[in-house]
Amino acid sequence: MNQNSATNMTLPQASRFASDVDSLVAFITWGSVILFVLITMISLYFLWKYRRIGAPTFTSPISHNNQLEITWTLIPTVLVFIIFFWGFKSYLDMRVIPANSMELKVTGKKWFWAIDYPNGTNSVNEMVLPVNKPVKLLLSSSDVIHSFYIPAFRTKMDAVPNRYTTMSFEPTMTGTFDIFCAEYCGKSHSGMIGKARVVTESEYAKWLEEAESGGKMSPVEFGAKLYTSKACATCHSNDGTANTGPTWKGIYGAKHKMADGSEVVVDENYLRQSMLEPNAKVVAGYQPVMPTYQGVLKEKQIDALIAYIKTLK
């Protein structure tokens, strides 16, 4: 990763409106600290000053004071209205989508993010963005509700099945930033983590080219890259470890028992079918939970993945 990945406890302000959100947070924090210290000090002072010594006695008949009541109703009212308007104003900055935005389609699936770019390229769990260019995300989900969250950008939005939601931001800093799923979505909710990689305009163009065809990489290298970039690794290990799906180690050429009782020899056609129609033939002992990669994987990418799987012995 690079210098901007959030490995320390300070969250970078990596979008146009991030600093405004942080300023509002700071404003509320200062107001809260002042009020809290005031309340605590007064309480502790009274506790000490009016502590009972000896037997209980009759105490003061003071029971109310209208001026005080009005004061401590009005001042907080004014303060919270300031906070409301500030929050509303920066909300508008988040919600009004600039006309020159680059539009990406983001689909949440259990348990990864599929991202489609304007030129037809797609990526999984890695959102590559050119710096200083406004972005509009068109979000949806293919199963349950997810929530697309980039802390460094200070914004999130739910991805809902059968519906589009939108979010927009403008990355202002190059670097790699965490993408989380913030809406609980089942078993691997906490594994539904991606990266937003903000790069210069020229790096972005180069990445688009490589993501499409693997550039100068060999099929095996490209397949190894796709194994992580298309989130196969979330459910399939490449070293024999048990996971949500069968491990890829030694899977090519092996004979597997299917959930319906039949037996299948894992060959190129079976692997291809498992990517495009994953629930047609499910290996016995596994849940039919894999989403289809139809439309996500290009022909050349399927070839590369098969080439990579063959090398895992």
Partner 1 sequence: MAALMETGVKGSTHTATAGRTRNFLNSPKGIMSWIWTVDHKRIGVMYLFAVMFAFFLGGVFALLLRFELIRPTQDIVGPDMYNQLFTLHGAVMVFLFIIPAIPASLGNFVLPLMIGAKDVAFPRLNLMSFYIYVVGACFAVYSLVTGGVDTGWTFYTPYSVETQTSVIAMTLGAFILGFSSIFTGLNFIVTIHKLRAPGMTWFKMPLFVWGMYATSIIQVMATPVLGITLLLLILERAFGIGIFDPAMGGDPVLYQHFFWFYSHPAVYIMILPGMAIISELIATFSHKRIFGYVPIAFSSIAIALVSFIVWGHHMYTSGQSELAATVFSFLTFLVGIPSGVKVFNWVVTMYKGSLTFQAPMLYAHAFLCLFTIGGLTGIYLGAISVDLHLHDTYFVVAHFHYVMMGGTVIAFLGGLHYWWPKIWGRMYDEFWALVSAALIFVGFNVTFFPQFIMGLQGMPRRYYTYLEQYQSTHLLSTVGTWILGLGFIIMAIYLIRSLYIGKPAPKNPWFGLTLEWTTQSPPITENFTQTPKMLWHAYDYDRVLMDENGMVTFNPNAEDEHAHDGRAKHTNGRNGKSHIEETTRSFN
Q: Assess 243 for contact with partner 1 (CB under 8 A).
A: no
Query: Residues 187, 159: contact at Cβ < 8 Å?
Result: no
132, two tokens: 């200083």
Q: How many residues bind partner 1 (CB under 8 A)?
A: 85
**Interacting positions 6-25 with partner 1 (CB under 8 A):** 6-9, 11, 17, 20-21, 24-25
Cα 151 from Cα 180, distance rounded (Å): 8
Site string for partner 1, 41-70 (x = CB under 8 A): -xx--xx--xxx---xxxxxxxxxx--xx-
Cβ 4 to partner 1 shortest distance, Å: 13
Site string for partner 1, 202-231 (x = CB under 8 A): ------------------------------
Cα 241 from Cα 248, distance rounded (Å): 9
- In the bound state with partner 1, the residue whose beta carbon lies nearer, of 99 and 255, is 99
**Interacting positions 88-117 with partner 1 (CB under 8 A):** 88-95
Backbone torsions φ then ψ of 109, nearest 5 degrees: -135, 155
| Contacting residue, 97, 131, 138, 145, with partner 1 by CB under 8 A | 145
Q: Which stretch binds partner 1 (CB under 8 A): 152-160, 198-206, 218-226, 292-300?
A: 152-160
- In the bound state with partner 1, the residue whose beta carbon lies nearer, of 3 and 59, is 59
Q: Assess 242 for contact with partner 1 (CB under 8 A).
A: no
Cβ 212 to partner 1 shortest distance, Å: 30
- Strands, sheet with 122-124, edge to edge from the N-terminal-most edge strand: 122-124, 112-116, 102-109, 135-141, 165-169
Q: Assess 160 for contact with partner 1 (CB under 8 A).
A: yes
- In the bound state with partner 1, the residue whose beta carbon lies nearer, of 182 and 220, is 182
Give the C-alpha distances (Å, rounded to integers) separating 112 from 24, 203, 223, 239, 255. 32, 24, 18, 21, 29
Query: Residues 159, 148: contact at Cβ < 8 Å?
Result: yes
Query: Residues 62, 125: contact at Cβ < 8 Å?
Result: no
Cα 226 from Cα 224, distance rounded (Å): 5
- In the bound state with partner 1, the residue whose beta carbon lies nearer, of 88 and 299, is 88
| Contacting residue, 36, 218, 253, 295, with partner 1 by CB under 8 A | 36
Closest CA to 168 of 74, 258, 104: 104
